[in-house]
Chain A
Amino acid sequence: MNFLDRLPKDFWTRNETLVAAVIVAFCIVATISDPLFFTVTTVSDLLRASIVIGILAIGAMLVLVSGGIDVSFTAIAVFAMYAATKISLALWPEMPWPMIFIVAMLVGAGLGAINGIFIAFFKLPTLIVTLGTLSVFRGFLLTFVGSQRISALPPEMRDFSRGVLARGTTEAGNFYSIPWSVLALVGVIVLTWFILQKTMLGRSIYAIGGNPESARRIGINVPWTQFFIYVYVGALAGLAGIIHGSVGRMADPFSLVGLELSVIAAVVLGGARLVGGYGTITGTLLGVALIVIVQNSLIVVGIPTTWQSVTIGLLILLGTGVPAYRAKRAAARAG
């Protein structure tokens, strides 16, 4: 059996393939117009820019797979980041960074649990709940926790941001570095992949997204599964938030919020469907890569940065519109 035969039947029509092709095409065009584009420096820059958005996107993908949509994760991320920083500064400024991270993830999980309670046990629509909690979490943060930017972070957070896996200077004299936080992204990928692909819990998330009523009928505990999803996604948001604060060397309660639609866009580009049941980690990462490339490197091919959002919008319209249009045509033919 050769390699081509082992590809899934729908390989050529998948969003993943489409997005990968766009990325490759972009890189080719960019390299032609600027030979310096395709260097270790660019790759390491893009990688660094992908970490926070990547972790958030994996969480958002999980929610989409289960048939919901979460727009509150950026508020959770910034809340968890700011609260963890404040807790550390108030109680134990020398708190080791892994502990600060755990605090942030616990805060995130707690806020996610609030989403989970409304969605899983009160059965409210996910968009309504998370739109509400987006505002509430953010408002609560600014009113009761604080609205000052903190640049004097706990020293351990700064130490974390200085840690690198590799660094160096290319022959052309350009500096590159790969920070520790890449490992966090890798860890999230591996853990989420394991949950989704290898555990009954993960498969039940796909099942619920595919058909919630059927899931209930075969005895899946739908509310608890949903509750787990929002807690897990909250914890991921907390992790993304604290990494964002550490790497940016500033706990800014006004940051991150507003990013949620770009993250959801990345996930949708990667093939997750808003109706639920579909979404892969590979697709999500490709979607993130595409969004990050567009946000950071569009200028290389001579497109002004003001066109970023237009480009992202067009990519979404094409990337999701084409398959949706095809499906509609197929349905019309069947009817």
Chain B
Amino acid sequence: MAQTDATPFIDLRNITKRYAGVTALDGVDFEVSAGEAVCLAGENGSGKSTLIKIISGVEKPTEGTINIDGYDIPQNSPRIAAARGVMVIFQDFSLFPNLPVYENIAYPTQMNARRRFFDRAAARTLAGDVLARIGVEIDLNERVENLPVAQKQLVAICRALASNAQLIIMDEPTTALTEKEVQRLLGIIRRLKDDGVAVIFVSHKLAEVLEVSEKVVVLRNGQKVAEGPATNFDTKSLTLHMTGRDVPEAKPAAVVQGAPTLMSVNSLGKSGVFSDISFELKAGEILGVTGLLGSGRTSLAKALFGLVRADEGAVSVDGQQIPLGDPIAASQARIGYVPEDRLTEGLFLTQSIMRNVAIGRLDEHARGSFLDMKGLYAEASDWIARLKVKAPDIQAPVQSLSGGNQQRVALARWLSRAPRVLILNGPSVGVDVGSKADIHDIIRELAGEGIGVIVISDDLPELLSTCNRILVMREGRVTDEIDGAAATEADLAHRLAS
């Protein structure tokens, strides 16, 4: 299916990559032509990052051939790929926060020219030219650490262009951008395509970049499972190809009429972070809170559980006011909080699954100064079974589990404490699409049992499939309140980011 009118810029044939017995890529063909934008989609572990590493020379394929710009490359390396114009923009942008914009843009160019001395004047000129080429104004002398995320991304694009990029590979390019910034990025991408620069988007949220793309390639378990013009795909069909099964779009059950108010929050505020947050949560209700990075959603979640001390306002559960900034009081009031970053904030990674669940119930199983280990472990294993944690052995360390199962362990710990209100921050971050649906089922079940659930997330389909109501935050304020049953993803995205 190679295009006949032009040789593709990148032409990979029959690429296979095995790591110590695991096949990450299995006979994948992949090509990109000059001036073409390609979406590369796939779940975690589908092999998309391996494919990118092979194109950029970081990894060598076990089998298969690489051809870049008409040249066969038997021994690809980062230097060779870069010399042919293949540039990767990682999700973290790989910039130097301590150095000024112009140096970030021009340093690699001078390095590749094997210069010994750094020519500041030339660096400034080059950086200015490249910024002008994509029509962006950024202060050349500003340190990159002081730039907003969207501008950092532009600096990273400029750096690639300064090094004469023919193909720019962008990893999760839209995750941290507002709608306006995404539009500007798409404008820049169109400009680059007109210049003959090819682009590969690597993402699991592709809806936004589909409109500037010509082609979509979907990987699953190391194999190419779908390829075709971008116009043939939409979010639903992408999910189908990525997971290999039709994940039904479930909707939350309606809140029972006349359900009692469980939690009420009155003009909660923390100066400079969020302000004037008020809402009520009913028993059995699932409330979504969304907003971009930096909108204050995570700080609000932490403030509800007392991990961040709010300056003003009140939080009460069942009419009982809870002291602000006191996580122990919050957990005694039977609020549970599952943090976004379970690896650093939520779990004891090297400890067993059992202990990770049991830790939340030590007080309940105290017999004098000693622990009733039997009762403790029996209860923990019961929860592990109820949440269907897939583990060979409940004594295995939590770090040996997949993301989805780790999240279940974190949930099990809180559920064993029979919470009234459960705050879930990013419940499916780093979880594959299949487990995600299971976690959503669990969330809906919990609400069915009368627990009030607050889901903090920027994953819009997740909010739509779980929440009865969604609060949208922007710059520390709740700017919209949307009925979950009536909302659409496009509407929500617009309110979130405009």
Contacts and interface: CB of A to CB of B under 8 A. Distances in A.
A207 interface: yes
Contacts of B82: 219
Interface stretch (A22-30, A47-55, A108-116, A195-203): A195-203
B273 A333 contact: yes
Contacts of A213: 94
Given A206-B98, A332-B273, A334-B294, A198 B111 contact: no
A200 B96 contact: no
A196 to B, nearest CB: 10
B108 A219 contact: yes
A335 B299 contact: yes
Interface stretch (B113-121, B219-227, B238-246, B408-416): B113-121
A333 B308 CA distance: 11
A283 interface: no
B115 A218 contact: no
B331 interface: no
A200 B113 CA distance: 11
A280 to B, nearest CB: 11
Interface residues of A, number: 29
Contact of A200 (B110, B299, B308): B110
Interface in A195-247: 197-204, 206-207, 209-211, 213-215, 217-220
A88 B107 CA distance: 45
B383 to A, nearest CB: 31
Given A200-B117, A335-B298, A206 B96 contact: yes
A287 B116 CA distance: 30
B41 to A, nearest CB: 24
A218 B108 contact: yes
Interface string B374-401: 0000000000000000000000000000
B118 A203 contact: yes
B103 interface: yes
A201 B115 CA distance: 10
B90 A218 contact: no
B112 interface: yes
B212 interface: no
A278 interface: yes
B168 to A, nearest CB: 14
A277 interface: yes
Contacts of A211: 94-97
B97, B110, B111, B308, most chain A CB atoms within 10 A: B111
Range of interface residues on B (Cβ < 8 Å): 20 to 34
Main SS class of interface, A: helix
B250 interface: no
Given A207-B107, A219-B78, A199 B98 contact: no
Nearest to A332: B273
Interface string B261-286: 00000000000110000000000000
B457 to A, nearest CB: 16
B73 interface: no
Interface string A246-287: 000000000000000000000000000000011000000000
B247 interface: no
Contacts of A332: 272-273, 299, 308
Contact of A220 (B95, B111, B272): B111
Contacts of B308: 332
B355 to A, nearest CB: 29
26 contacts: A8-B141, A198-B117, A199-B117, A200-B110, A200-B116, A200-B117, A200-B118, A203-B107, A204-B111, A207-B99, A209-B98, A210-B96, A210-B98, A210-B99, A214-B95, A214-B96, A218-B107, A218-B111, A219-B78, A219-B82, A220-B111, A277-B96, A277-B97, A329-B272, A332-B299, A332-B308
What 4 pairs between A and B have smallest CB-CB spacing? A277-B98, A210-B96, A214-B94, A210-B98
